[in-house]
Each structure stands twice: as C-alpha cells, then as structure tokens.
Amino acid sequence: MTENNWKLVDAFFDKYDLVDHHIKSYNDFVNNRIQDIIDITEPITLENGKYTLKTGKLTIEKPYTKEADGSKSTIYPTEARLRNLNYSAHMYLEMALNEEGEDNPLENVYIGELPVMLKSDICYLNGLSGEELIEQGEDPQDLGGYFIVNGSERAVVTMEEIAPNKIILERVNEVEDRHAKAVVTSIKSGFRARITLEYKKPRKNGVFLRISFPYVPGEIPLVILLRALGLSTDQDIITAISDDNNFQMIIADDIQVSTQALKLDQKEMDGMSREEREEYMQLAAIKYIGNRVAKGMTEEYRIKRAEDVINRYLLPHMGTEEGRRHDKAIYLAEMTEMLLQVIDEQRKPHDKDHYTNKRLRVSGDLMEDLFRVAFTSLTRDMSYQLERSLSRGKELSIKQAVRSDVLTENIKHAIATGNWVGGRAGVSQLLDRTSYMGTLSHLRRVVSPLTRSQPHFEARDLHPTQFGKICPNETPEGPNCGLVKNLALMCNISKGSDEQEIKDVIESMNVLIE
C-alpha cells in the first residue's frame, strides 16, 4: 500500500472506531427508540375504561449501586467487574392513573434497570481521556461496545438476516422447473410475519397459486384472499395481476377452481345487482378464511376473526387498518406477476446470498426487540396488580403496582444467558479476552441464523458482494465455517432511514406520493 492509502486509513479511523456500529446503534436505542416503544404501547385501562394509566417521558440515570446500609454510590465498570455486579442504569417513567374525567399530574416511577454499554452516552467512560481512563482502572485502548452483567463481560453479536419488507423470489426445485415461491418477511413494531406465495403444479382439481401467512393454518388459494381484500370480480383480479395472456390463463384457471371452493349460491347471485354480487363474493371469501382460522365457532365470530387476521397479520408493514386492504391486494398482485415471470423465465430468481438482500442487526436493534417484550411483560404485570387492588377494595397506587424486577430480570436474563426473544440462542456471548485482537474480532463478529447441522454450501461460500464488507479469511473451522463471519476492517454499517423523513423531503420537492 502506498503512503496515500495509509493516510486514507488513518483518516477513516480518526472518524470511526472499530465498534462504532454497536455504540451508535445503542445510543440511538437509548435516546430515541425506548421512548418510541413506550409511546406506541397501548395504555392500560381498567373496568371498561373507568381508570386509565397515562405514561410520559422516560428518564435514565447513570449507573449507581445500593450498598448494604441503603446508601447509593456511583459505580464504574472496573468495580462492577471486581464485585460481580451489574453495570446498569436506572429508569424512571412519568405515569399518572386517571379516573374518568380526571387529569392527574404525572409522577416519576422507578420501572427497572437497563444494562449500560461501555463508552455509550449513558456510560461514565464516555468522553474520558486516556489519563482519566487509567485513573478509573480502565485500559485506554479498550473500545467498549459490550455490557457487564453479574461481573461478566458480555458482547452482543451482530445478527445477519434476509432483508425485511422485500420480495425475495426463489426456485424451490431445479429439477421440477415449474415450482417457485415469493417470500416477504413483513416487520412492524417488532412483529415478524412471513408471507409465502407458492406456484406449483396442482393435484387433481387444485390451484396453481397458494399463499400462507401467520394464524391461518396451511395454505389458501391466492384468488380467495384477493377477493377477501376487495378485488371481488374476476376481471379485477386478472387485470390487477398481469396483462400477459399466458399469465391471465393461469389466473383464470385458478379463479374457476377457487369459485367452486367458495360454494356460491348461483340462483341467489342471479337476482343481485353488480355491487351486491361483489359484496356477496367478498363476504364468501372472508367466510372461507374464517372457517380456517376459527373452525366450529359462530358465523359472526368467524367473519370478525378472519377480518382481524387479514388486517393485523397479512403484510403488517403496510398498515393494520381496514383501509389498507386494497393496497395489500395490489401488493400481492404485483408479487404474483413477479413470481409468474420467474416461472416463465422472463425474470431471474433472487440470489439470497447477495448482500443487497441481507441486513445486519446490531446491538441497538437487538436491544429494542428485548426491551419491547420486557416492557410488554411489565405493563401486563402492572395491569394484573392494579386489578387485584381493585378487587380487594384497596386504594390504587402506581408505585406499588410497578414491580421493577419484572423488566430488570427479563433484560438481564437475556444478556446473561444469550437466550433472546424469538427463540434465538447465543445472541450475547462471553467476551473473548484471550488477546486484544481476539476482543476486537469478537466485537465485529457477524452470525448467520442458518442451522449448523445442514450443508448450506452456497450460504457458506464467499460471495462477490461481500467484498469490502466481510473479511474473506476470518471464519472458524468446522460446522460454523462460513456462517460465523467478521466485518472487514474498514467496513462501516449504515443506519436505516425513517420513512416519514423521506416522504417529507419528497413532498417538499413538490412530488406527489400515490
């Protein structure tokens, strides 16, 4: 490397640290995302709305510990390591319990502890010089980016996943060429819904296109779902999907078979107007889905449950309101055309190992998932405690209703064991202190969620798009080979943008958004 190249490397490390991706994402989590989670959580209501719990601003105090004599003392990371304590901040949330018509002032209530990442905004070591770090018993070369729980140093490793809210097209079987599927992992506020649209040759009297999504057992014909979403007539469905005659013939065959499955009363339909017929067919499609999701229940409950499942669990990233159904139908129609183009070899399937189709989830994202679940547990527990006080005729007290150990233990247990929400294991690991290089390597590790027991040859291979992002040499031997990777030395992870900010910029340029 020439002298100029080294200047470029020096300039890069003057601006960025090797563990910046962890620290910056954790700072964003602490400064913005925790408050967002609290704000969007549904407020607690008791006795059909007679009492409502209002929440306000969250305050995070820097780490301290309570001694045996009840006194409070500031705790630094070195002391936490030596005394086997948690290096964690204390959280206070503004709350007020209002009876009907009341608007009581908010009071600060202690809700629990949050493990602090070393060198983050809420850490005492943030901004200290080398001499000051030595005074506190810290290594000035230590970059931070990890937690201290029960005296142990725990690193949260970066998790690799398929890009959410993006259509991924794939061939299922190269031998059987007319079998493919389109998959979307739809994510909204931590809830993940995997929607799979599959094309395969049907058995006798079956359909080509079938779709599956959460809370609906098995697969259902795509056409029936499109009818339930508001594309009631055959023409609406065919024209929404494609202008290609060959594709339209496939859809027409599916429509014919699916219409028979709905068991429509033809005589009743003959006497209806066009609008009535459309409503009748849409209701029949909703009833079909209702028979899947709430079999054996009353018809009214089946319809309500089917509508609820469609609104909440089908493509939740597009919205969970009833008014978004037509948009979801158009999205599925576009998805169907893309899938049919793969079958007809007009379009190539996606390469799942291409880094455009991957996203990296760093500490802030993973802590956000953890906090959301822990805070939901806390609100449920608070609701239970308040209801218990009501049933016993006691005076309601917020401070007594909040059991701070619910939130603290949920978060601490996950970081201490590595068992994360969503059933993932090994997300947090004991920090490697074998050598300084080993520590840096551990903090830049990237782990794939694929199972180690299967070959996954293509996933383990080096991919050209990893150039400059993933180190081509550093990976373990054995079953983890190619699935546990490390970031390249000068790789910097970019942060996702807020959709609303982008829309505001586009609107400020007088561009219309459909």
pLDDT of residue 2: 74
pLDDT at residue 209 tops 90: yes
pLDDT of residue 513: 61
pLDDT at residue 514 tops 70: no
In whole angstroms, give the CA distance from residue 229 to residue 11: 54
- Secondary structure of 16-57 in HEC code, one letter for each residue: CCCCHHHHHHHHHHHHHHHHHHHHHCCCCEECCCCEEEEEEE
pLDDT at residue 385 tops 70: yes
pLDDT digits (tens, 9 = 90+) for 100-151: 878 888 999 999 999 999 999 999 999 999 999 999 999 999 999 999 999 9
pLDDT of residue 261: 81
Average of per-residue pLDDT values in the chain: 91
pLDDT of residue 175: 59
Three-state DSSP at 360 gives: strand
pLDDT at residue 176 tops 70: no
Fold of 166-356: 3.90.1110
pLDDT of residue 212: 95
Cα–Cα separations (whole angstroms), residue 308 to 114, 188, 218, 303:
35, 16, 18, 9
The residue extents of the domains of the chain are 17-158+361-447, 166-356
pLDDT digits (tens, 9 = 90+) for 74-104: 999 999 999 999 999 999 999 998 888 788 8
pLDDT digits (tens, 9 = 90+) for 259-308: 888 877 777 777 778 788 888 889 999 999 999 998 888 999 999 999 99
Residues 337-360: what's their mean pLDDT?
A: 93
pLDDT of residue 177: 62
The answer to whether 410 and 380 have CB atoms below 8 angstroms apart is: no
User: Of 236, 210, 235, which is closest to residue 224 (Cα–Cα)?
Assistant: 210
The answer to whether 50 and 379 have CB atoms below 8 angstroms apart is: no
CATH class of 17-158+361-447: alpha beta
pLDDT of residue 11: 92
In whole angstroms, give the CA distance from residue 441 to residue 426: 16
